[in-house]
Chain A
Amino acid sequence: MDLQLENLRFGTELIKRGFAKMQKGGVIMDVTSPEQAAIAEEAGAVAVMALHAVPADIRKMGGVARMADPAVIESIIDAVTIPVMAKARIGHFVEAQIIEAIGVDMGDESEVLTPADEFHIDKTKFTIPFVCGARNLGEALRRIVEGAAMIRTKGEAGTGDVSQAVKHMRLIMGQIRSLKAMDEQELMRVAREIEADYDLICECARLQRLPVVNFAAGGLATPADAALMMLLGADGVFVGSGIFKSENPEAMASAIVKAVHNFDNPQFLAQVSKGLGAAMKGIEASSIPETEALQTRGW
């Protein structure tokens, strides 16, 4: 096939951010096997995150959490037609290169894994797009400067407690709203205070949103959690342990997808929330000591 490759441009900012835009209004699910990936696709997930263990188990196992076995990721790529994502440790650009080489569609530089460096990965150097976690506007904009094509709230992964994702989403959206009435000098002061790029601050003030897609993640466990995050301004949601740690993963997965599509319809949400069995048991995020919290990894 003659594609005249020299005339094609790969890995541009437009393509990377564009990929993230195609995920909007969707649910991205954590999976650890081809079987789970097939369940996620069947339920209507827009993408899957290939892992060796879901965050709840990573938390339980302790020790150093690293990139998943490439064989596991490849088996998941082969099992589905929807995009496949995979996690690399914060700052571990070689893990990031490996997941790009496998053919993963998007990388996640994730605080769920043990950080490898005090610097984050320079994501502008990659052809595939990356998503990064953030707790506030400054953190989100620092990741965007490094090349993140998508942001997600950090929440507190593996807990099944949505409160931290709510806190982070409210903070980011609130900070953006507060920029609206500011003049140039005030915006410049904000840029200094939150250690963020001035031009990106101005862009947020003008757009009244982040310049990239912004998903909710970390502790979402039910259809109501997913709808709550959509109403707080999320473009879509990641669900990690919430699906395959629930009593009936097929039903939970499908119900969460439907909830994201009908987040503003309480009657419908009531219908899809019926008879799903037990959600993941979880742990209250506030009971986790600061030193064991995943959200404080990265800055």
Chain B
Amino acid sequence: MQIGIIALQGDVSEHIDVMKKSLKGTDLVVQIRRAGIVPLCQGLVLPGGESTTISRQLESTGIANEIKMAASAGKPVLATCAGLVLVAKEIEGNSSVKPLELIDIKVGRNIFGPQRNSFEADLDVKGFDKPYKAVFIRAPGIVNAGPDVDILASIGDFAVAARQGNVLCLAFHPELTVDLRFHQLFFKMMRQAKET
């Protein structure tokens, strides 16, 4: 299997390192900075970073359309923080981010306030037997979700982890901590997609 990390801006190398740690010998991790590589991947990762910056590059490189096609073909997508903003159907307020509309959620950017309000929390996650240490950095939050969206975790009024079919999105950064349970869930999604 080949996993493509969208490498236009943000914490790309952290995603690559964690993926390599949790993958088997024949699996590959590739960086995607230009069009033409997304179709060769069986799974895609949208990293953390600045969603306005990444959005512009996704559009100008043509990678945005490739991601939409891959997702509609059922390929698993893991989106973290800025990635969650990018894959949403709708973004609150006036925003220069063009959503990819891969999952039926409405997202508020930077919903907890400036960096001094960024935090770590031990999250209760649906399907996990023990809490998950999650790092939120100027994080977005899900303010609304459609009926087909499975909410996996929430903080206060906001959902912060959600899944709809082949799209898994997290408002926090599993690539910055050592707990690999979300990555294992993503690999499971990839194996299931391969079998069907």
Contacts and interface: CB of A to CB of B under 8 A. Distances in A.
Interface of A: 1-4, 7-12, 14-15, 18-19, 21-26, 41-42, 44-47, 77, 81-83, 100, 103-106, 127-129, 257, 261-262
Interface in B54-112: 56-57, 81-82, 95-96, 109-110
A42 B173 CA distance: 26
B96 A41 contact: yes
Given A21-B176, A129-B115, A44 B81 contact: no
Contacts of A12: 120
Contact of B52 (A2, A22, A82, A129): A82
A8 B119 contact: yes
B165 interface: no
Contacts of A129: 115
Given A18-B173, A21-B176, A261-B33, A83 B53 contact: no
A15 B138 CA distance: 10
A285 B109 CA distance: 41
Contacts, number: 117
Given A83-B115, A257-B53, A15 B9 contact: no
Contact of B11 (A21, A42, A82): A21
B135 A3 contact: no
Nearest to A103: B114
Contact of B138 (A19, A25, A45, A100): A19
Nearest to A43: B56
Interface residues of B, number: 41
B2 to A, nearest CB: 21
A28 to B, nearest CB: 10
Contacts of B121: 7-9
Contact of A21 (B14, B52, B110, B120): B14
A52 B75 CA distance: 49
Given A46-B53, A82-B52, A25 B122 contact: no
16 contacts: A1-B156, A1-B157, A2-B156, A3-B156, A7-B122, A12-B120, A15-B135, A19-B137, A21-B10, A22-B82, A24-B49, A44-B57, A81-B95, A81-B110, A82-B50, A104-B114
B48 interface: yes
Contacts of B13: 24
A14 to B, nearest CB: 6
B169 interface: no
A93 to B, nearest CB: 16
A22 B115 contact: no
B11 A22 contact: yes
Contacts of B155: 3
A262 B57 CA distance: 11
A10 B109 contact: no
